[in-house]
Amino acid sequence: MNHPYRWVIVAAGGLLGCVAGGAMFSLPVFLRPMSQDMGWSVTGISMAMTIGFLAMAAASMVCGGLSDRYGARPVVLTGSAVLALALALASRAGSLVEFQLLFGLLIGAAAAAIFAPMMACVTGWFDTQRGLAVSLVSAGMGMAPMTMAPLAAWLVSLHHWRAAMLIIAGIVAALMIPAALLVRRPPALFDERTGVAAAEPQPGMTVRWAVRSPQFITLMLANFFCCATHSGPIFHTVSYAVTCGIPLIAAVSIYSVEGLAGLFGRIGFGLAGDRFGAQPVLALGLLAQAFGVLAYAFVSDLGGFYAVAVIVGFIYAGTMPLYAVIIRENFPLRMMGTIIGGTAMAGSLGMSTGPLLGGLIYDQFDSYAPMYVSSWGTGLAAMLILSAFRPFPKKQREVAVA
């Protein structure tokens, strides 16, 4: 399939992911201004992000299934509108619980309607250069630390945190809703439904068989531990840098450096996955990620933070798109939304652990070092689990009984 519109899908997916991810991950920038203004604890505000990832986990498979049935456009369009509304409502929250529910539940569910459907859609548009395509979409998502995070920090420096968050809500609506209207179903999906796509992997597979397969379960577990590895460092490194005496604006720039490195990492890992195979490249990446996040525990000056941010950003961002490539190589296109949504669900559960546990660790020990050590351990677990993945036999064509 070489339809030129496939690159429009990549561009739309990258923009949607960038804005949605940036809106959700702007919370670390608001963490201290909100705590100082409202008297809410760091753990309490961080809990909103944990709730967000739990909501994303609960909604990911559902949204992926809806995109399989109705197409990605209506799902992504709804998610874009809800995301903007949720940010506007969260900016007016009067209590910690209200903020946790508005920012957590609504934004988490809205983000789930963006990520899994778009990744599933993009994999269907590409037969060749698939690793590069999903990496470019993921690279768009990785642009959030270089765009939305500095924007949020600038807005917070000029306005009250409520006004800053409301402005971000308007930006989300203005960018995401038009981009969502560009999304189309992959032509290959119509070919598969009419019986043309004979080369599809596992053409007789049912969804029930797929979600019970060792391959799906292994990918879910690997993604859970992979995301648990970097969730705490992503969310708390800005706060950690501030505790080391680095000003907020400079600390946010660490996040941006990590995002810039991630942009190159996603493209580099995507090209490497196309050439050497997604699974071995992903396994090596997970091993490197474990030691990368551990390095944060040994730095305290801005230069050290920048150096580690380059390494960690390149690695953790580069690994993420490869899960979608492995899924597309092993499961039929007609269930991409469901399967990618399932692994995204596991990843979101993993991401939910970092903000809360990192906050609890800091409140208990007045130090983030134990968080980075625990992240190293989960990173090693992710690598070992992924190494146990075994693809479906290429000649396996039995029709599964539901």
In this structure, is residue 208 part of a structural domain?
Answer: yes
In this structure, is residue 149 part of a structural domain?
Answer: yes
pLDDT value at 52 more than 90: no
In this structure, is residue 396 part of a structural domain?
Answer: no
- For residue 105, the one-letter residue type is L
pLDDT value at 125 more than 80: no
Label each residue of the chain as H, E or C: CCCCCHHHHHHHHHHHHHHHHHHHCCHHHHHHHHHHHHCCCHHHHHHHHHHHHHHHHHHHHHHHHHHHHHCHHHHHHHHHHHHHHHHHHHCCCCCHHHHHHHHHHHHHHHHHHHHHHHHHHHHHHCCCCHHHHHHHHHHHHHCHHHHHHHHHHHHHHHCCHHHHHHHHHHHHHHHHHHHHCCCCCCHHHHHHHCCCCCCCCCCCCCHHHHHHCHHHHHHHHHHHHHHHHHHHHHHHHHHHHHHCCCCHHHHHHHHHHHHHHHHHHHHHHHHHHHHHCHHHHHHHHHHHHHHHHHHHHHCCCHHHHHHHHHHHHHHHHHHCCHHHHHHHHHCCHHHHHHHHHHHHHHHHHHHHHHHHHHHHHHHHHCCCHHHHHHHHHHHHHHHHHHHCCCCCCCCCCCCCCC
pLDDT value at 402 more than 50: no
In this structure, is residue 399 part of a structural domain?
Answer: no
Residue 198 is predicted with a pLDDT of: 46
Residue 87 is predicted with a pLDDT of: 93
In this structure, is residue 254 part of a structural domain?
Answer: yes
Task: Give the highest mean pLDDT range of 135-149, 176-190, 293-307.
Answer: 293-307
Of 330 and 224, the structure prediction assigns the larger pLDDT to 224
* Count of the separate structural domains present in the chain: 1
In this structure, is residue 398 part of a structural domain?
Answer: no
pLDDT in tens, 128-150: 666 777 777 877 776 776 777 77
Average pLDDT, the chain: 84
Band of pLDDT at residue 292, cut at 50, 70 and 90: very high
Residue 129 is predicted with a pLDDT of: 67
Residue labelled with tokens 């391959």: 215
Residue 224 is predicted with a pLDDT of: 94
Tell me the HSE value of 217 on the side-chain side, using a 13 A CA sphere: 5
- Contact present, 216 and 210 (Cβ < 8 Å): yes
pLDDT in tens, 242-289: 888 888 778 878 877 887 888 788 888 888 888 888 889 999 999 999
In this structure, is residue 35 part of a structural domain?
Answer: yes
Residue 306 is predicted with a pLDDT of: 93
Residue 27: give the domain boundaries: 6-387
Of 75 and 148, the structure prediction assigns the larger pLDDT to 75
Of 330 and 133, the structure prediction assigns the larger pLDDT to 330
Tell me the mean pLDDT in the region 79-84.
Answer: 94
Residue 188 is predicted with a pLDDT of: 64
CATH number at residue 181: 1.20.1250.20
In this structure, is residue 401 part of a structural domain?
Answer: no
